[in-house]
Structure 1
Amino acid sequence: MSVMLGCIADDFTGATDLAGMLVQAGMRTVQMIGVPAHPLPNDVDAVVIALKSRTNPADEAVADSLAALQWLRDAGCRQIYFKYCSTFDSTDQGNIGPVTDALMSALDTSFTIACPAFPENKRTVFKGHLFVGDTLLSESGMRDHPLTPMTDSNLVQVLQRQTKNRVGLIQHSTVAAGAQAIRDCIAQLQAEGTRVAVVDAISNDDLLQIGAACADLPLVTAGSGIALGLPQNFRAQGLLAQQDATQNLPSAPGLRAIVCGSCSQATQAQLADLISRGTPAYAIDPLRLAAGDDVVADALAWAAPRLQNGPVAVYATADANRVKSIQEKLGVGQAGALVEDALARIAQGFVALGVRQLIVAGGETSGAVVTALNVRGLRIGPQIDPGVPWTVSLGDTPIALALKSGNFGSVDFFSKAWDLLP
């Protein structure tokens, strides 16, 4: 098997987001959890390796990413795609810059782009500044992110603090002029010694032009939006057929549940909507976990009789003040680890009770859940909302999983997701 596009994603929901975009663009895609140790299906055009490297120490993120790269190169991938969040989640120490540097060195390439734009989800880049809707990133809810607070909207500055390479900018006036203008700008930037260029994008058409301009780059770094623009390059080379890749999802009948660990403003609104519609919901208290209470057993005992009547939700979602209060008492690391572990064990308990259709909200939570469920890979199916597809796990007992980034999805996401399962 020869895979055309090999992708390295820095978290689980980001991987699913990217895989879903590739499927929408006609590439048959599987998502693997960590570097694959098992053979892949033969009918695959793209593979996304999901790592848990967004908030790891930079040296660990680099090592994991290089291991993924080696596997993808051995699989014959023609282009490598390093995927990070559309809100460029990172700190001044990384991990976007250090991983980009390491991948460029390993691929012996002297240039790449950085473009987190995803206009369908209201993430745009203009004059090098990242916007969430009409709001600068630094003034959005990401300013208060518990692990990667984003207080600078200027991506050239953000990335320059993380990388040893010179960072430049391809402005929207160039992007609007089309793929050839972008290629000309890339050549000029390279001649000036720039090795990484932040690229403006405010529409899907911009992403298509950027994708076309990147056809010959060994490495692309971006959010999931650029996935719209890359499949066309393989199609133009006669390597990729016109096809509907969203219909390649097997059924997974069973009970339904939601596990919610994200504390983003979007997820808070989605959870409130779900509860207002009458879905039973159980709140996880991190302070009870820290005190040694068997909250997992309590949650499963609460859920067991209710699952037979429809979906239930277990959540640790809270507003910023509540999260800050808990972190002050427990520490940021311990609070996050306690919640992730508890929600992962609850997901295991759900599956033991017969749940086969599971929505998970939050990148870190999704990573913990798929690890606990020993999911080694996912087939990617129809999109629920931009960036969030349904998936079905590879293996003998298929489980339908929707792995939602905290910031993604409409207010009624949880309620409408079930209607889109095959």
Structure 2
Amino acid sequence: MTALLGCIADDFTGGTDLAGMLVKAGMRTVQLIGVPDGPPPDDVDAVVIALKSRTNPVKDAVAESLAALHWLREAGCRQFYFKYCSTFDSTPHGNIGPVTEALMKALEIDFTIACPAFPANGRTLYKGHLFVGDLLLSESSMRNHPLTAMTDANLVRVLQQQVRSKVGLVDYETVSKGDAAIRERFDALHQQGYGLAIVDALSNANLDAIGSACADLPLVTGGSGVALGLPQNFRRSGLLADNAVADALPKTGGLRAVISGSCSVATQKQVEVMSASFSSFSIDPMRLARGEDLVAAALDWASERIAQEPVLIYATATPDTVKQVQADLGVAQAGSLVENALAEIARGLVRLGVGQMLVAGGETSGAVVKRLGVKGLRIGPEIDPGVPWTSTLHKDDTQPLALALKSGNFGSEDFFLKAWEKLQ
């Protein structure tokens, strides 16, 4: 069977987030790590290719995204989706706009939308302005992000700085009238010479209407939210069955561990909550920089405890601490030191018998799956909005590994404690 929807995600946790939305909407979905060599599994409706391109140089991000698009077209996909973060992580010179225009050119189209809204996680769009909870994006913690600081909440203005096309707006008044009104606005903007449109959304009902209005768009771009409305288009056309158990995963066993590299406010609280009940080990970037073998130290520490309880190994820190480390070591070196150490620790934990692992942070997740040699993931049940359990694609004679790859800002305070229940 040929996959219907082909998706390109600019980081690993974002890919899992999107894939989880598609599974919730009834599409059997796999996430592939990087552009694959062979074909997708036969029993899937959607394929998500997860790249590590969010903070890459623009040229590299465009090249990787075009390679992913080529593979998805060869796989027979009928519609394409470019997924980025619900907080539109991208500087004025960032990758969202250039990648979108490159995909449009390759598909020979001259109009698409951008809608990062994800109301279930507090990301809403009104009059083109992105809110995080009750705060404008520019007033949220994202203003201090070490790599993609977002200091402007007006996404029409932000995206216009990145693209040559004119950027318009489909405002909430139009969206609230439903899919027909949204399509009319798409057509009007297109006729007026706009190539891209930011689309407002305050609720899942808005996302459903936007998704319906996008049925005939070859390319859709946004966060994972809009993807909720796309599967029904295939269902209405008779291409997608209603009876598939989309979130079924093979059984996994083994020991349990949490790896956390995110320094987001949400993850800081999750680390604090788990540390109050379970053993934890902190990775200090400055000690890594001095050449201390914290990988061996962490694994020795874990080997004495992991048979009795889940363990937490983290490099999560406050924004002030992160800024000081980056000032001392440089942004790139600080990031790579931590990511490489956590990835090596993850590989060591699997060798110790870990079969179920939570990983927090997009960059950390990318490093971990690469070090583990993971080529693809089958998407399973949702833990919290935007974060599903997955299992590694495996040969018949190997045991799959259960992985939950969490974006830094996602998940409730007790996420690290309750996630295991979904695997029972």
TM-score, structure 2 as length reference: 0.98
Residues 246-277 of structure 1 deviation map (CA, whole Å, 9 limit, x = unaligned):
4420011000000000000000011111112x
Residues 97-153 of structure 1 deviation map (CA, whole Å, 9 limit, x = unaligned):
000010000000110000000000110000000000010000001010010000000
Q: Distance in 1 between matches of 2:69 and 2:227?
A: 18
Q: Is the 8 A contact 2:28 2:247 kept in 1?
A: no
Name the structure 1 match of 2:216.
Answer: 216
Name the structure 1 match of 2:392.
Answer: 393
Q: Distance in 2 between matches of 1:229 and 1:311?
A: 37
AA matched with 1:224: S
Q: Secondary structure at the match of 1:65?
A: helix
1:244 to partner: Cα distance: 5.0
Q: Distance in 1 between matches of 2:166 and 2:83?
A: 20
1:2 to partner: Cα distance: 1.2
Q: Is 1:84 the equivalent of 2:81?
A: no
Q: Is 1:43 the equivalent of 2:43?
A: yes
Aligned with 2:421 (options 415, 419, 422) = 419
Q: Distance in 2 between matches of 1:6 and 1:150?
A: 28
Q: Distance in 2 between matches of 1:88 and 1:374?
A: 29
AA matched with 1:195: G
Q: Is the 8 A contact 1:224 1:387 kept in 2?
A: yes
1:191 to partner: Cα distance: 1.0
Name the structure 2 match of 1:410.
Answer: 412
1:325 to partner: Cα distance: 0.6
Residues 327-361 of structure 1 deviation map (CA, whole Å, 9 limit, x = unaligned):
00000110000000000000000001000100000
AA matched with 2:405: L
Q: Distance in 1 between matches of 2:175 and 2:406?
A: 30
Q: Is the 8 A contact 2:23 2:247 kept in 1?
A: no
Q: How large is the RMSD of aligned CA atoms in angstroms? A: 0.7
Name the structure 2 match of 1:122.
Answer: 122
Q: Secondary structure at the match of 2:193?
A: coil
Listed as ranges, the gaps of 5+ residues in structure 1 are none
Q: Distance in 2 between matches of 1:77 and 1:64?
A: 18
Q: Distance in 1 between matches of 2:33 and 2:349?
A: 20
Q: Distance in 2 between matches of 1:408 and 1:366?
A: 14
Name the structure 1 match of 2:206.
Answer: 206
Q: Distance in 1 between matches of 2:84 and 2:243?
A: 27
For residues 98-247 of structure 1, what are the structure 2 equivalents within 5 Å? Answer: 98-247=98-247
Name the structure 1 match of 2:345.
Answer: 346
AA matched with 2:359: V
1:210 to partner: Cα distance: 0.3
Residues 63-98 of structure 1 deviation map (CA, whole Å, 9 limit, x = unaligned):
000000000000110000000000000111120000
Q: Secondary structure at the match of 1:208?
A: helix
AA matched with 2:255: L
Q: Distance in 2 between matches of 1:391 and 1:38?
A: 20
Residues 170-205 of structure 1 deviation map (CA, whole Å, 9 limit, x = unaligned):
000000011110111011101111000000000000
Q: Distance in 2 between matches of 1:245 and 1:201?
A: 29
Q: Distance in 2 between matches of 1:246 and 1:49?
A: 18
Name the structure 1 match of 2:60.
Answer: 60
Q: Distance in 2 between matches of 1:190 and 1:141?
A: 35
Q: Distance in 2 between matches of 1:421 and 1:44?
A: 21
Q: Is the 8 A contact 1:256 1:356 kept in 2?
A: yes
Larger mean Cα displacement after TM superposition, 375-384 or 395-404: 395-404
Q: Is the 8 A contact 1:15 1:50 kept in 2?
A: yes
Q: Distance in 2 between matches of 1:209 and 1:246?
A: 23
Q: Distance in 1 between matches of 2:347 and 2:160?
A: 42
Q: Distance in 1 between matches of 2:121 and 2:213?
A: 23
AA matched with 1:54: R
Q: Distance in 2 between matches of 1:290 and 1:244?
A: 50
AA matched with 2:142: M
AA matched with 2:351: A
Q: Is 1:378 the equivalent of 2:380?
A: no
Q: Distance in 2 between matches of 1:6 and 1:233?
A: 14
Q: Secondary structure at the match of 1:266?
A: helix
Name the structure 1 match of 2:303.
Answer: 304
Q: Distance in 2 between matches of 1:332 and 1:243?
A: 48
Name the structure 2 match of 1:25.
Answer: 25
1:40 to partner: Cα distance: 2.3
Listed as ranges, the gaps of 5+ residues in structure 2 are none
Q: Is the 8 A contact 1:245 1:381 kept in 2?
A: no
AA matched with 1:231: P
Q: Distance in 1 between matches of 2:412 and 2:162?
A: 33
Name the structure 1 match of 2:313.
Answer: 314
Q: Distance in 2 between matches of 1:160 and 1:281?
A: 45
Q: Distance in 2 between matches of 1:63 and 1:251?
A: 37
Q: Distance in 2 between matches of 1:321 and 1:194?
A: 41
Q: Is the 8 A contact 1:29 1:48 kept in 2?
A: yes
Q: Distance in 2 between matches of 1:412 and 1:244?
A: 31
Q: Secondary structure at the match of 2:304?
A: helix
Name the structure 1 match of 2:359.
Answer: 360
Counterparts in 2 of 1:247 and 1:110: CA distance versus 1, 3 Å: closer
Q: Secondary structure at the match of 2:377?
A: strand
Q: Is the 8 A contact 1:115 1:223 kept in 2?
A: yes
Q: Distance in 2 between matches of 1:40 and 1:79?
A: 16
Q: Distance in 2 between matches of 1:72 and 1:383?
A: 25
Q: Is 1:266 the equivalent of 2:263?
A: no
Q: Distance in 2 between matches of 1:22 and 1:110?
A: 26
Q: Distance in 2 between matches of 1:164 and 1:121?
A: 31
Q: Secondary structure at the match of 1:358?
A: strand
Counterparts in 2 of 1:115 and 1:247: CA distance versus 1, 3 Å: closer
Residues 234-254 of structure 1 deviation map (CA, whole Å, 9 limit, x = unaligned):
000000011353442001100
Q: Is the 8 A contact 1:267 1:361 kept in 2?
A: yes
Q: Is the 8 A contact 2:259 2:342 kept in 1?
A: yes
TM-score, structure 1 as length reference: 0.99
